Structure 1
Amino acid sequence: MSKVFSAHAVSVDGYITGRDPGAGHGLGDGATLFDWYTDGDTSSRVFDMFKLSESSARVFDALAGRVGAVVAGRNTYEDSERFGGGSPHPTARLFVLSHRPAPEMTERQTLVTGIEEAIAAARKAAGDKDVGLMGGGVLTAALQAGLVDEVILHQVPILLGGGRPFFRSLPEHVHLRLVEAVPAPGVTHLHYEVQR
């Protein structure tokens, strides 16, 4: 069965956006969370526009190569300008988790209202590949439902002091086991396995 994982750039103080994210503002003033996507000299094999450090490219491409479908929250969808009618991944189908109707969904985008439904549909679409999660609310809901296998943090050495926090309230502790830590210029890649 495919795995479900979350991989996010996050500040040391736990934010995945800067202040004032939203339509027209993108991910807010925290754009420095993503500088490592373009600060290197190694081209990504999956995302044409990314030039990462050699160590970041190895980690990033290994993760991106696993993705067959993506589940994103409504805030992430709107903040990212609806991914231009496509998906945050060049080949993966997008499932948007929301209880509100979403305008102008395309054939690469599907609106779903519950996390279990979203993960089940994404797994079916992913085939033998994995499901990637985008957004703190989606990750929290999937953790609460016991559906997450791995959490990857691309931790950027900055304290943003505000923005959208990555982790939301959970009803209980979630224990993680560190699988790999890869230091790279401008980011440390922390790969955790969810302990059940």
Structure 2
Amino acid sequence: MTGVFVAHAVSVDGFITGRGPSHGNGLGDGGVLFDWYFGGDTPSRVFEGFRLSAESVDFFDAVAGRVGISLAGRNTFDDSGWEGGGTPHPAAELVVLSHRPALAADRQHLVSTGIEDAVAVARELAGDKDVALMGGGATTAALAAGLVDEVILHQVPVLLGAGRRFFQELPGHIRLRPVEVVAAPDVTHLRYAVVR
């Protein structure tokens, strides 16, 4: 069965953007959370132009290679500037979860009836690969609904102090089981299974 995971770069204090994320400035001010994409000498086999550290490349490419489709909430969609048809993954289409009208372009699918329906559509479109969640709102809703199998954090050694938090308020505790830890010079990759 198609799995559902979230993988995101996050600061040590839990932010996925700097201050002031907005349309065309999705990372907010500073944008340091993704410097590790270009901080090494080893090219990614999945994302053209990414040059990662030797410690990061195998972990990153293994996760990126699992993606059959991405699923993002409306804030992530708007702030990332994908309304013209872009997607976050070079080989995967995008499901956008939004209660507000949005234009879905080629390789994009709009779902407005909630996270359960969005994940169901994404699973169908993913084929034999996995669904990759993006953004704090969609991730939190999917976690609260018991739809997430794995949480992968690319923890960057920085305290941002403000920005958009990754995890929003959840209805209760969600237990995670550590599966893998990969330390790299500019990021630590943490993979957790969601305990059911």
User: Quick check: TM above 0.5?
Assistant: yes
1:44 is displaced (CA, Å) by: 0.5
Answering whether residue 172 of structure 2 is matched by residue 172 of structure 1, we say: yes
Please say if residues 83 and 105 of structure 2, whose CA atoms lie closer than 8 Å, have aligned partners that are also in contact.
no
Aligned CA-pair RMSD: 1.0
Task: Tell me the equivalent position of 1:194.
Answer: 194
Task: Tell me the equivalent position of 1:81.
Answer: 81
Q: How does 1:59-138 map to 2 (within 5 A)?
A: 59-82=59-82, 84-103=84-103, 105-113=104-112, 114-138=114-138
1:93 is displaced (CA, Å) by: 1.1
Gaps spanning 5+ residues in structure 2: where?
none
1:49 is displaced (CA, Å) by: 1.4
Task: Tell me the equivalent position of 1:139.
Answer: 139
Q: 1:154 to 1:129 in 2, by over 3 A?
A: same
The percent identity for this pair of structures is 67
Distance (whole Å) between structure 2 residues aligned to residue 30 and residue 138 of structure 1: 24
Task: Tell me the equivalent position of 1:156.
Answer: 156
Q: 1:138 to 1:25 in 2, by over 3 A?
A: same
Distance (whole Å) between structure 2 residues aligned to residue 168 and residue 78 of structure 1: 19
Distance (whole Å) between structure 1 residues aligned to residue 24 and residue 51 of structure 2: 25
Q: How does 1:44-63 map to 2 (within 5 A)?
A: 44-63=44-63
Distance (whole Å) between structure 2 residues aligned to residue 52 and residue 164 of structure 1: 25
1:84 is displaced (CA, Å) by: 4.6
Distance (whole Å) between structure 2 residues aligned to residue 100 and residue 84 of structure 1: 17
Q: Which aligned segments of 4 or more residues in structure 1 are displaced greater than 4 angstroms?
A: none
String of CA shifts for 1:53-75, please: whole Å, max 9, x gaps: 01211111000000001100111
TM-score by length of 2: 0.97
**Amino acid in structure 2 at the alignment position of 1:130:** D
Aligned length: 195
**Amino acid in structure 2 at the alignment position of 1:160:** L
Gaps spanning 5+ residues in structure 1: where?
none
1:82 is displaced (CA, Å) by: 1.3
TM-score by length of 1: 0.97
